[in-house]
Amino acid sequence: MSTARFAVFGHPIAQSLSPRIHAAFGRQCGIPLEYTAIDAPPDGFAAALECFAADGGRGCNVTLPLKEIAFSLCTQASSRAQRAGACNTLTRRDGQWHGDTTDGAGLVRDLTGRQGLDLRARRVLLLGAGGAARGVAPALLDAGIGELVVVNRTPERADALVDALGEPGRAHSRYWEDLRELGDFELIVNATSAGRDQSSGFTAPLSLVNSRSVAVDLNYGEAAIPFLAWARSAGCLEAIDGLGMLVEQAAEAFELWHGVRPLTDAVYAELRERDKTLATAD
């Protein structure tokens, strides 16, 4: 059997854990595959993707800052990718790219499976309205949450996200300046990229938190530290980083490509163990 080619595109991409995760899934499932990390700036992504396809690339993941461009380069996209307006998983079929997004499903699976949370009827605060927020908002609604409040530094983007969700009964946008007046939330999701700028901390009103609040950062590693530090000091019951979501979105992509769902617990545990700098949720 020839080795199938897969990759993750991003900019930067050197730190990506995806090659390690997919290699581990491949070993576990007895599927030979090559999965590499390819650095592509936004203006070079389309050409890099064509080159990858010409070299036999069968599928790829796409990460920052290329997810919206990836969506625009797909001939077809799943309904969840269309709702997100972004793709993190592309599959080559009949000479064309088919787009999907597995981020939202990955987050929900991590929260409900690994973390044991019941999301139904929960009041959820989503901080941020960029690509990461758009990727997870539909899946949170589909998981049965009671209310989604979207707050973003630039309010127009929060309005646009909420409009695109098309659920005026459950999803609302509010101003960042009004966080103090929003009451408390059972789940607080940080989908901003603020933590990637190591110079700044994270602050938000303590009134957002009750004794059962769970905070989750879609980032992992150093980028998740400021928000998770705030969540702990604010008294959140749990503060979870995005490593579990990363492994789960990868499993979902692996299943799309190979038709087999890999087990994720061992891979998750290995990543936690091997890189203690990621262990911000323990």
The string over 171-194, giving b where at least 16 C-beta atoms fall within 10 Å of a residue's C-beta and e elsewhere, is bbbbeeeebeebebbbbbbbbbbb
> Is residue 280 a contact point for ligand ATR (CB under 6 A)?
no
179 counts as binding ligand ATR under rule CB under 6 A? no
Among 64, 182, 256, 279, binds ligand ATR (CB under 6 A): 64
To the nearest whole angstrom, how small is the minimum distance from the Cβ of residue 57 to ligand ATR?
23
Residues designated catalytic: 67
Angle between helices 265-274 and 243-258 (to 10 degrees): 140
Note whether 129 binds ligand ATR by CB under 6 A: yes
Contacts of 70 (CB under 8 A, 6+ apart): 9, 45, 49, 62, 86, 87, 88, 90, 99
DSSP state, residue 41 = -
Question: DSSP code of 281?
Answer: T
Nearest distance, CB of residue 173 and ligand ATR, angstroms: 12
Vertex 108, ends 115 and 145: CA angle to 5°? Answer: 100
132 near ligand ATR, judged by CB under 6 A: yes
**Sign, Cα dihedral of 69, 80, 242, 106:** negative
The correct pick among 61, 152, 173, 249 for binding ligand ATR (CB under 6 A) is 152
Kindly indicate which of the ranges 29-37, 40-48, 128-136, 247-255 contains the residues binding ligand ATR, using the contact rule CB under 6 A.
128-136
Token look-up 């617990």 returns 265
Q: How far is the CB of 244 from ligand ATR (least distance, A)?
A: 18
193 binds ligand ATR (CB under 6 A): yes
Site size with ligand ATR, rule: CB under 6 A: 16
Contact set for ligand ATR, span 14-53 (CB under 6 A): none
CB 175 to ligand ATR: min, Å: 12
Q: Among 95-103, 106-114, 166-174, 189-197, which window interacts with ligand ATR (CB under 6 A)? A: 189-197
The reply to whether 11 sits near ligand ATR by the rule CB under 6 A is no
- Which one of 29, 46, 194, 260 is in contact with ligand ATR (CB under 6 A)? 194
The Cα-based distances of 76 to 97, 170, 229 in angstroms read 7, 29, 41
Q: Where are the beta strands (DSSP E) in 78-236?
A: 89-93, 96-100, 123-127, 147-152, 171-175, 185-190, 209-217
Please name the residues in contact with 275: beta carbons below 8 A apart, sequence gap of 6 or more: 221
Q: Is residue 96 a contact residue for ligand ATR (CB under 6 A)?
A: no
Count of residues in the chain: 282
Smallest gap from Cβ 126 to ligand ATR, in A, equals 10
**CA-closest candidate to residue 48, choices 10, 93, 85, 14:** 10
User: Within 157-176, which residues bind ligand ATR (CB under 6 A)?
Assistant: 157
Q: Tell me how far apart the alpha carbons of residues 125 and 117 are, in angstroms, rounded to a whole number.
A: 16
Give the CB-nearest residue to ligand ATR.
130
Q: Is 192 in the site for ligand ATR (CB under 6 A)?
A: yes
Per CB under 6 A, the segment of 75-83, 193-201, 249-257, 268-276 that binds ligand ATR is 193-201
Of 7-15, 129-137, 232-240, 266-274, the window that binds ligand ATR (rule: CB under 6 A) is 129-137
Q: Which residue in this structure is represented by tokens 């990637």? A: 196
Residues at the contact surface with ligand ATR, assessed by CB under 6 A: 64, 128-133, 152-154, 157, 191-194, 200
